[in-house]
Amino acid sequence: MSQIQTGLLILLLTFLGVVGYNVYLHETTPNEISYTEFVELLQTDKIITLHLKGGFVKGEDISMREFSSFIPDVPSILPLIAGKSIPVTAEKDVENLAGFMQSMVPVFLILGGYLIFSRMQKSDKSGFTRGKSSSFHPITSTNLTFNDVAGISEARTELVEIVESLKHPDKFSTLGGYIPKGVLLQGPPGTGKTLLAKAIAGEASVPFYSIGGSDFVEMFVGVGASRVRELFTEAKRNSPCIIFIDEIDAIGGKRSGGNASGSNDEREQTLNALLVEMDGFDSNQTVIIIAATNRPDILDPALLRPGRFDRQVTISLPDVKGRRKILEVHTKKIILARGINLSEIARAIPGFSGAEIANLVNEAALLAARKNKNGVELSDFEEAKDKISLGLERKNLVINEKDRRVTAYHEAGHAITAKLLPETDPVTKISIIPRGQALGLTQQVPLDDRYTYSREYLINRIKILMGGRIAEEIVFNHQTTGASNDIVTATAIASRLVCEFGMSTNIGPIAYMHEQDGFLGGNTATKPYSEKTAQLIDAETKKLIEQCYEETTELLTQHNKFLHKLAEALLVNETVDGEEMDIVHHCYINEKKIEENFKNKRKEV
């Protein structure tokens, strides 16, 4: 019988007990009559016994029927009772604790049943109780293998030894080596850390305990440490096995070192229990601990030392080859149209994690099904990518013709700057269809994955971001708020170029800020500097942006006709891809050559 069924049975028995108790009280409690009826019975000599207690009276009538009644004024009724030959008993009016407790029995029964049931539900969800370790339920088979994990071949190769050590432990102990006790999987979200841990368990065919770091955290001191001990006791009993702790940073953060407030006592006790248990395995107990985290920078050093987590495997975002392999795994579950080039799709989604690629394939399949197609086409993948990256198309948004033209020239300014400048990523798509919070987009896809960026690339990136605002100024002679996000991004690039990358000529190769080792982003550390240095940094950042602004203005002014042609193409078609932009550019070049030839002939004449 499961815990849920047991809990329901307890609630049913509690309900039946309350109903039975109420029936018993109804049968044993005397019939209550009014004061008028009591006086009438007394005057007509129909009462044979009486018992007085405070303002209440109980007795029996001549029919041997018990009754009770409330007397508002006891002294006034005593002369009437004295004139009758009725046996009368009395007692002091003290607080009847037994009666009160008797009336609270149903409440206690209901409350007790609810507490037992809620406790069982909590234990069933978390897998933990304060009692026996039999509450743990390991996964005996995950039905996953390394064939289900793609795009992280280096990490997979590193973990093959873990599987071999679980299958053939004597192979390593014969040469004097020992099996690693722990493996820390670190990397950005969605890269397959949990999937890889399940694949290890599936390959090794051993019990697999999967617990979240937050499952150990409770408001009651000592509960987390107790749960750690219960978990490891059960794991040792089922050795060899794997313990997987997801998001271990919830309990494995650096200890405070002298924090007198006691706010972190529970978490630190849990961490201490984990450290002790990881050191407490015997030689005949093969228990591998695998943990996953996005924040290895905040973990306690005692947790990362050899002997606990012997290996730290970094799982990075997949490269173009890895993305193609992940696409191959997930597209096996859907029907693809003929001629689909997965390499082309993989190249168009740089920076996508494994989870995002799985979501891309699913969204493409849903879009194809919505259009009643027989297979998922390339256009479905492109639409799914735009939906994931930029949001849904806002088809019901009504934009007036003036704002539409401004958006067209704005996006054309971005695209032309990217087209004409060297050391930039090629433009693959320009659109003035609103998506998410944006009224338009200019999409660039690198030919290859980039791991380092040159100064020229970063400077040109600032120019591309400024191209939209400058195009508005050249054509309409005014500015709009549509460039606000471009300006924020350009300022951030310029600040990092000066303060982090050391690419400023006046300041030199000095880092005044740097990113920390976390994989979640947004963690920047700043080096202390003086007010004079702050002014120098501000001046250098402003100088870079102004220089880029002036050079981009000159570039777009020189190619003003190209700007108009591309904007008009956007106003007609709403979306222009890279090939169509090349056609517009060729037309512009040919017209420019014809004009130059015409001018030269006029000079000759």
Indicate if 269 and 162 belong to the same structural domain.
Answer: yes
The fraction of the chain above a pLDDT of 90, given in percent, is: 27
* Block residue for tokens 């002369």: 79
| Higher pLDDT among residues 212 and 109, named by residue | 212
- The token duo for 141 is 């088979």
Predicted confidence at residue 261, as pLDDT, reads 46
CB atoms within 10 A of CB 367: 19
Indicate if 479 and 529 belong to the same structural domain.
Answer: yes
Predicted confidence at residue 133, as pLDDT, reads 39
Predicted confidence at residue 513, as pLDDT, reads 80
Closest-CA residue to 216 (of 250, 185, 184): 250
CB contact set of 439 (below 8 Å; sequence gap of 6+): 399, 403, 407, 432, 482
For 12, phi then psi, to 5°, come to -65, -45
CB 407 within 8 A of CB 430: no
Indicate if 425 and 543 belong to the same structural domain.
Answer: yes
Indicate if 455 and 496 belong to the same structural domain.
Answer: yes
Instruction: Kindly state whether residue 165 falls inside one of the protein's structural domains.
Output: yes
Indicate if 48 and 143 belong to the same structural domain.
Answer: no
CA 585, 590, 592, 593 dihedral sign is positive
Catalytic residue among 230, 356, 411, 472: 411
- Region 387-393: mean pLDDT is 82
Pairing between β-strand 311-314 and β-strand 182-186 as defined by DSSP bridges: parallel
Distance CA 200, CA 206 (A): 9
Q: pLDDT tier at 386 (50, 70, 90 boundaries)?
A: confident
Predicted confidence at residue 229, as pLDDT, reads 86
Predicted confidence at residue 149, as pLDDT, reads 81
Predicted confidence at residue 126, as pLDDT, reads 43
Distance CA 4, CA 15 (A): 17
Indicate if 11 and 44 belong to the same structural domain.
Answer: yes
Most confident range, picked from 52-66, 561-575, 590-604: 561-575
Closest-CA residue to 409 (of 283, 169, 569): 569
Predicted confidence at residue 55, as pLDDT, reads 66
Indicate if 200 and 242 belong to the same structural domain.
Answer: yes
CB atoms within 10 A of CB 388: 16
Is the model's pLDDT at 391 over the cut of 70? yes
Distance CA 204, CA 197 (A): 11
- The token duo for 27 is 């049968």
- Region 108-119: mean pLDDT is 62
* Block residue for tokens 């028995």: 13
| Higher pLDDT among residues 601 and 429, named by residue | 429
Predicted confidence at residue 427, as pLDDT, reads 93
Predicted confidence at residue 511, as pLDDT, reads 87
Q: pLDDT tier at 226 (50, 70, 90 boundaries)?
A: confident
Distance CA 53, CA 205 (A): 76
- The token duo for 89 is 């008993």
Query: pLDDT per residue over 148-169, tens digit each?
Result: 788 777 777 778 877 877 777 7
| Higher pLDDT among residues 388 and 174, named by residue | 388
Instruction: Give the end of a domain, one of 314, 329, 349.
Output: 314
Closest-CA residue to 336 (of 379, 362, 374, 370): 374
Predicted confidence at residue 127, as pLDDT, reads 43
Distance CA 577, CA 575 (A): 7
Most confident range, picked from 21-25, 147-151, 157-161, 568-572: 568-572
- Region 31-43: mean pLDDT is 71
- The token duo for 170 is 């004597």
Distance CA 169, CA 234 (A): 21
- Region 162-180: mean pLDDT is 75
Instruction: Kindly state whether residue 605 falls inside one of the protein's structural domains.
Output: no
Distance CA 300, CA 310 (A): 14
Predicted confidence at residue 2, as pLDDT, reads 52
Is the model's pLDDT at 269 over the cut of 50? yes
CATH assignment of the domain containing 22? 3.30.720.210
| Higher pLDDT among residues 280 and 468, named by residue | 468
Range of the domain at 49: 3-98
Distance CA 207, CA 345 (A): 38
Please report, for residues 196, 209, 250, 352, 471, the alpha-carbon distance to residue 291 in angstroms, rounded to integers and kept in the order given.
11, 11, 11, 23, 51
DSSP 181-222: SEEEEE-STTSSHHHHHHHHHHHHT--EEEEEGGGG--SSTT
Predicted confidence at residue 134, as pLDDT, reads 44
Average pLDDT, the chain: 80
Is the model's pLDDT at 351 over the cut of 60? yes
CA 410, 416, 422, 427 dihedral sign is positive
DSSP state of 504: -
Distance from the first to the final alpha carbon of the chain: 105
Instruction: Kindly state whether residue 125 falls inside one of the protein's structural domains.
Output: no
- Region 422-448: mean pLDDT is 88
Cis peptide leading into 240, omega within 30 of 0? yes
Q: pLDDT tier at 125 (50, 70, 90 boundaries)?
A: very low
Instruction: Kindly state whether residue 109 falls inside one of the protein's structural domains.
Output: no
Instruction: Kindly state whether residue 112 falls inside one of the protein's structural domains.
Output: no
β-partners of residue 435 are 393, 438
CB contact set of 174 (below 8 Å; sequence gap of 6+): none
Distance CA 339, CA 519 (A): 37
Predicted confidence at residue 593, as pLDDT, reads 82
* Block residue for tokens 């909590």: 122
Residue type, 319: D
Q: pLDDT tier at 286 (50, 70, 90 boundaries)?
A: confident
Indicate if 584 and 436 belong to the same structural domain.
Answer: yes
Indicate if 197 and 307 belong to the same structural domain.
Answer: yes
Query: pLDDT per residue over 456-479, tens digit each?
Result: 999 999 999 999 999 999 999 999
Query: pLDDT per residue over 215-225, tens digit each?
Result: 777 655 567 78
Closest-CA residue to 81 (of 90, 196, 313, 412): 90
Query: pLDDT per residue over 192-223, tens digit each?
Result: 888 888 888 788 778 888 888 877 776 555 67
Indicate if 431 and 358 belong to the same structural domain.
Answer: no
CB contact set of 540 (below 8 Å; sequence gap of 6+): 498, 504, 506, 507
**pTM, 2 dp:** 0.70
Query: pLDDT per residue over 524-562, tens digit each?
Result: 677 788 899 899 999 999 999 999 999 999 999 999 999
CB 385 within 8 A of CB 348: yes
CATH assignment of the domain containing 426? 1.20.58.760
Indicate if 66 and 90 belong to the same structural domain.
Answer: yes
Q: What's the chain's length in residues?
A: 605
Distance CA 6, CA 13 (A): 11
Q: What is the 3-state secondary structure (H, E, C) of 457-473?
A: HHHHHHHHHHHHHHHHH
Closest-CA residue to 319 (of 508, 143, 191, 223): 191
DSSP state of 250: G
Indicate if 324 and 235 belong to the same structural domain.
Answer: no
Query: pLDDT per residue over 495-509, tens digit each?
Result: 999 999 999 888 888
Instruction: Kindly state whether residue 369 falls inside one of the protein's structural domains.
Output: yes
Q: Structurally, how many domains does the chain consist of? A: 4
Distance CA 54, CA 72 (A): 10
Predicted confidence at residue 11, as pLDDT, reads 66
The fraction of the chain above a pLDDT of 70, given in percent, is: 76
Predicted confidence at residue 565, as pLDDT, reads 93
Distance CA 66, CA 293 (A): 74
- Region 368-387: mean pLDDT is 91
Instruction: Kindly state whether residue 128 falls inside one of the protein's structural domains.
Output: no
Is the model's pLDDT at 396 over the cut of 60? yes
411 is catalytic: yes
CATH assignment of the domain containing 332? 1.10.8.60
Instruction: Give the end of a domain, one of 390, 415, 442.
Output: 390
Instruction: Kindly state whether residue 351 falls inside one of the protein's structural domains.
Output: yes
For 535, phi then psi, to 5°, come to -65, -40
